[in-house]
Amino acid sequence: MSLETIINLEDVSLKFKLQKERTPSIKEFTVKLITRKVSYLDFYALKNINLEIKKGESVGIIGRNGSGKTTLLRIIAGIYKPTSGKVYVKGRIMPIIELGAGFDMELTGKENIFLNGLLLGMTRREIEKKYDEIVEFSGLKDFINSPLRTYSSGMILRLGFSVATAINPDIILLDEVFAVGDEEFKKKCIAKIKEFKENGSTFLFVSHNMNAIKEICEMAILIEKGKIIMYTQKEEVIKCYLKLDF
């Protein structure tokens, strides 16, 4: 296995300016700006993150709700820009922060495959090439020209997963996609993920499901209040996480 660095975060911080009161109207804001009463509260969603991930590694990200797990994925995916620090990412990213980004209930399954695929970074031609495969994998051939609103939530999930896994990306960001869906779906997901791993994809996997982390990842990161407090072998990190008092 090559040891090429594929993701590197150097001293990355993300600071939100929280206004102490709710979003004001323009009038209030102007009045306060003039009287210099706009007060902000600095809130670090991520603070001084240093992280290096090598090609082919699978890393679980664990931590409590609101600790900054999803924010970290968003930084890597380029959705958020850090307030300070450097983000280096090499290769093609497949961000599966939620399945079916951009799905529209009024559009047909086919139309949604194209919309969703484009939003995930594929070109139209790539989707056309993979189209039959996607439909096949989703098992929704008979419904593909019906509007999405006629689908069950399980069918929508399957469609989203089929599009997201149609191409072989270098980096896959997964955020709690197993939380929904039945056992069969979970098995299908894990099988697909293992297939990607064999092909050399790098994984970042956010989950509260320790069993899924154990099954997929080798390493794990523990995040607490926007800081990485541990990054080592998964067993040790999970042990430490479970000991955190809730």
Partner 1 sequence: MENKFIWIKDLLFEFIRKDLKLKYKRSILGIAWSILNPLLMMIVMSIVFSYLFRFQIKNYPIYILSGIIFWNFFSTSTNLSSLSLISNSSLLKKVYFPRVLLVISSTLSQFINLLYALIPLVIIMFFYKTPPKLSFILIPIPILSLLLFTIGLSLILSILSVYFTDISYIYQIILLAWMYLTPIFYPPSIVPDKYKIFLQINPMYHIIISLREVIYSGEFPSLNTLTLSFIFSFSIFLFGLWFFKKNENKVMYLL
Comparison of 102 and 154: residue with beta carbon closer to partner 1: 102
The number of residues that bind partner 1 (CB under 8 A) is: 31
106 is an interface residue for partner 1 by CB under 8 A = yes
In contact, 112 and 159? CB cutoff 8 Å: yes
Contact call for residue 23 and partner 1 (CB under 8 A): yes
**Residue 243: in which H helix or E strand, if any?**
helix 234-243
The H-or-E segment that residue 157 falls in is helix 153-164
How many other C-beta atoms lie within 10 A of the C-beta of residue 179?
11
CB of 196 to partner 1, least distance (A): 19
CB of 202 to partner 1, least distance (A): 17
Out of 4, 5, 29, 139, the only residue in the binding site for partner 1 (CB under 8 A) is 29
Burial label, 107 (beta-carbon count in 10 A; 0-12, 13-18, 19+): middle
User: Which parts of 121-160 interact with partner 1 (CB under 8 A)?
Assistant: 121-125
Shortest separation between residue 6's beta carbon and partner 1, angstroms: 17
CA distance 38 to 19: 8
Q: Is 34 in the site for partner 1 (CB under 8 A)?
A: no
Which range binds partner 1 by CB under 8 A, 106-114, 198-206, 207-215, 225-233? Answer: 106-114
- Residue 104 as a binder of partner 1 (CB under 8 A): the answer is yes
How far, in Å, CA of 99 to CA of 188, rounded?
Answer: 15
Kindly report the three-state secondary structure assignment for every residue of 131-150: HHHHHHHHCCHHHCCCEHHH
Which is closer to partner 1, CB of 85 or CB of 121? 121
Whether 203 contacts 197, CB under 8 Å = yes
Contact 219, 234 (CB under 8 A): yes
Residue whose structure tokens are 């609103």: 149
Residue 98 makes contact with partner 1 by CB under 8 A: yes
Closest CB to partner 1 among residues 23, 35: 23
Q: Is 115 in the site for partner 1 (CB under 8 A)?
A: yes
Closest CA to 228 of 4, 7, 11: 11
Measured from the CB of residue 123, what is the shortest distance to partner 1 in angstroms? Answer: 5
CB of 126 to partner 1, least distance (A): 9
Is 97 a binding residue for partner 1 by CB under 8 A? The answer is yes
Q: Which residues bind partner 1 (CB under 8 A)?
A: 16, 23-26, 29, 74, 77-81, 95, 97-98, 101-102, 104, 106-107, 111, 114-115, 118-125
